[in-house]
Chain A
Amino acid sequence: MTTRSIADLLRDVGTLRDLPPDLLAVVSGCGRNVHFDTGTTILREAEPADTFFAVRHGRVALELFAPGRGEVMIETIGPGGVLGWSWLFPPYRWHFDAVALEPVQAIAFDGACLRGKCDDDPRLGYELTRRFAATLIDRLQATRLRLLDVYGDGDAIP
């Protein structure tokens, strides 16, 4: 795969959509194609977070392991979604496990490399921070919506 094709592939990733071409080239330079078989643990809670993934095919589950309950699927990330933002903020450690539910093709980005480039180029840092913040807000709002338990019973009335 060439750098060029990774830049093309990134056009399908919502978080990075419409990134100015020069910045897209920088980001693409930190990316490589990866593949995970079904059941592969991609990320593990508390381990160093130095990567993030743009999912191209397949689905990844974010899980927490709770004693007595086993693994609980918290969220799934499908094609076009971004997996991992802990690489961008201290202490740079994963908060969840991530497991491939199906064969997964993704682009893996070297977070440490990107952090360095962001420090060198505030414009890149601003663009990426802004975009990841937007993704974070989407996830936060989706989580808040689930907190409401909108499909729940409410108070049964006659």
Chain B
Amino acid sequence: MQSRDQPRGELCVPSPYRVVDRTVETADTVTLAIAPVDSLARAWEPGQFNMLWMPAVGEVPISISGGVGGGATGGDRGGDGTVLLHTIRAVGAVTRALCALEPGQTLGVRGPYGRGWDLDAASGRDVVIVGGGLGLAPLRPVVHETLRGRDRYGRLAFLAGARTPEDLLYMSELGQWRARTDLQTEVTVDAVPGREWRGDVGVVTTLLPRIPFDPGRVVALVCGPEVMMRFVAAELLRQGVAPGDIQVSLERTMQCAVGSCGHCQLGSSFICRDGPVVTWERVGAAMGVRER
């Protein structure tokens, strides 16, 4: 239906997708597996996001948490006809509606958008992946991706933080990752009753000194609440990691996803287009200015 004087306008129109599976992650968070109804899914990179649309409710940016059935690559970079995973926390009208979707129901999807994690920069280096709360969602595919190309990296560590064990996403996968010897996985929560919890208690920054990475040859990939990312970046910088080697995934209001509507600006950056993954070198100064 695109006329020829609508250059690349199709990027701003959703395509119908169908929910093929739904996994309850926590009390307020679900992971939807969705597949295109009548189109082909576009290729995507870990760290990118889609705009998910609930007709008559609205549209929200949600990062891509993985894929299923993507063939040779194992599914975390999309391809023709792949299933996409989106982990969604019910916090507003649109996300509540999305979380309530059941297999068989449809939604609209446009994307993928934005710049994902720069794994080329991590080649030949140690990789420390730090996620907090819902911030695990865009990091899940990067854990898969680094494990798949494991020889390309030095030490590989994944640090996850959450409020309580019940708030942790991807519990069964976390268990599998903790059992691996080629990935150091540490999980910490803010507080927990009893002694059943097998992980740590404390903020995620306190786990960093345990990771024997080389500060001069490490790339850190960080996603979580902004305050958490500021503290993690500060700790990494203190340990001698260069600002350009710290990548963070930022959250800002996004409506167009193509750098046009202006809402997501942080200093010179349009987070939807220049991010959501940006280096600390690029945004650290701006993030240090209150209400920037």
Contacts and interface: CB of A to CB of B under 8 A. Distances in A.
Interface in A31-75: 59, 61-62, 69-75
Classify chain A's interface size.
20 to 34
Contacts, number: 87
A1 interface: no
Contacts of A142: 202-203, 205-206
- Most chain A CB neighbours (cut-off 10 Å) among B94, B167, B206: B206
B228 interface: yes
B287 to A, nearest CB: 14
Given A71-B194, A151-B161, A158-B92, A14 B224 contact: no
A151 B190 contact: yes
A43 B23 CA distance: 42
A157 B210 contact: no
Given A156-B91, A158-B94, A146 B209 contact: no
B206 A138 contact: yes
Interface stretch (A19-27, A76-84, A110-118, A119-127): A76-84
The 6 closest A-B pairs by CB, nearest first: A151-B133, A150-B225, A76-B200, A151-B163, A158-B93, A142-B203
Contacts of B180: none
Interface of B: 28, 58, 91-94, 132-134, 161-163, 167, 188, 190-195, 197-203, 205-207, 209-210, 224-225, 227-228, 231
A79 B199 CA distance: 13
Given A150-B224, A151-B167, A158-B94, A145 B205 contact: yes
A73 B228 contact: no
B91 A72 contact: no
A10 B206 CA distance: 19
A73 to B, nearest CB: 5
Contacts of B191: 72-74, 146
Nearest to A154: B91
10 contacts: A61-B201, A71-B193, A71-B194, A75-B202, A76-B199, A79-B210, A138-B206, A145-B205, A146-B191, A150-B227
B57 to A, nearest CB: 9
Given A69-B193, A76-B200, A142-B202, A156 B92 contact: yes
Contacts of A157: 91-92
A141 B203 CA distance: 10
Given A142-B206, A150-B224, A158-B94, 13 more contacts: A73-B191, A75-B201, A76-B201, A76-B202, A142-B203, A145-B205, A145-B231, A146-B202, A149-B190, A151-B132, A151-B133, A151-B224, A156-B91
A153 B193 contact: no
A142 B188 CA distance: 12
A150 B132 contact: yes
Contacts of B206: 138, 142
Given A61-B195, A73-B195, A73-B201, A146 B190 contact: yes
A39 to B, nearest CB: 8
